[in-house]
């Protein structure tokens, strides 16, 4: 075999070996278990039917998430599945009380998959993003607290659940803790800004 032929043969073998390794890695990654988690936060005072319209206003979620610098309509019909919003986040380490920063470090487009005003829940998937989120679907629901007929227990809670591929660079527990912190912050902001009379 000529030296040129030997070189081509070795190059072909090397290329096939690389393709084999790449395919093996992709198969291994696809077999990793999905992440599934849920968090919740209570609001003292307002009933679920009062809080639901705030959550259902899909393209204005930045009003309640302090880490969100902006959110706005991209395409689709408001209130209907297929609606897409853009969300721009500040860094998690930024001061949440500083509302002057306009630096967007994390962004995503999110598509409304389902919205049910009777059950007061909606589901959405994250599309294009620079967070490393893949196959991400989340559901948010507003529920009355048990014993809501008792005025001393008046209030509701928001549940936020998700399913996604493992996120590179994150541990599952740390990510759930982040969502828990974000949802608690949102609930407090809703209480303070939207229902000040019910919590005073």
Q: Which residues pair with 37 in a beta bridge?
A: 162
- How many residues are present in the chain? 200
Phi then psi for residue 129, to 5 deg, are -160, 160
Q: Do 177 and 126 belong together in one domain? A: yes
Q: Do 179 and 119 belong together in one domain? A: yes
Contact between residue 83 and residue 77 where contact means Cβ atoms under 8 Å apart: yes
Q: Do 85 and 27 belong together in one domain? A: no
d(CA 174, CA 168): 12
Q: Do 26 and 45 belong together in one domain? A: no
As for how many domains the chain has, the answer is: 2
Find, among 119, 111, 117, 157, the residue nearest to 137 by Cα: 111
d(CA 126, CA 121): 17
Per-residue pLDDT averaged across 125-139, rounded? 95
Question: DSSP code of 199?
Answer: H
Q: Do 13 and 89 belong together in one domain? A: no
Per-residue pLDDT averaged across 102-120, rounded? 91
CB-CB neighbours of 177 under 10 Å: 13
Q: Any idea which residue has 């043969």 for tokens?
A: 9
pLDDT at 82 over 70: yes
pLDDT tens for 21-79 read 666 555 555 567 999 999 999 999 999 999 999 999 999 999 999 888 899 999 999 99
pLDDT at 3 over 80: no
pLDDT at 129 over 70: yes
Report pLDDT for 94: 46
Reported confidence tier of residue 198, pLDDT bands at 50, 70, 90 = low
Q: Do 51 and 22 belong together in one domain? A: no
Q: Do 6 and 100 belong together in one domain? A: no
Domain containing 63: what range? 35-199
Report pLDDT for 131: 87
Whole-prediction pTM: 0.76
């Amino acid at each position: 075999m000529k030296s040129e032929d030997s070189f081509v043969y070795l190059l072909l073998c090397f290329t096939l070996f690389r393709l084999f390794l790449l395919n093996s890695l992709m198969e291994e990654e696809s077999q990793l278990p999905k992440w599934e988690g849920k968090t919740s936060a209570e609001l003292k005072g307002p009933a679920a039917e009062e809080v639901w319209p705030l959550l259902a206003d899909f393209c204005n979620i930045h009003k309640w998430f302090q880490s969100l610098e902006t959110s706005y309509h991209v395409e689709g019909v408001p209130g209907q599945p297929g609606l897409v919003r853009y969300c721009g986040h500040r860094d998690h380490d930024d001061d949440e009380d500083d509302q002057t920063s306009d630096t967007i470090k994390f962004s995503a487009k999110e598509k409304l998959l389902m919205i049910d005003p009777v059950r007061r829940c909606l589901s959405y998937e994250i599309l294009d993003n620079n967070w490393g989120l893949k196959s991400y679907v989340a559901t948010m629901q507003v529920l009355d607290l048990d014993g809501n007929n008792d005025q001393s227990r008046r209030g509701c809670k928001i549940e936020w659940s998700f399913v996604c591929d493992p996120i590179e660079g994150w541990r599952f527990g740390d990510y759930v803790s982040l969502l828990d912190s974000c949802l608690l912050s949102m609930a407090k902001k809703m209480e303070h800004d939207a229902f000040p009379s019910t919590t005073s």
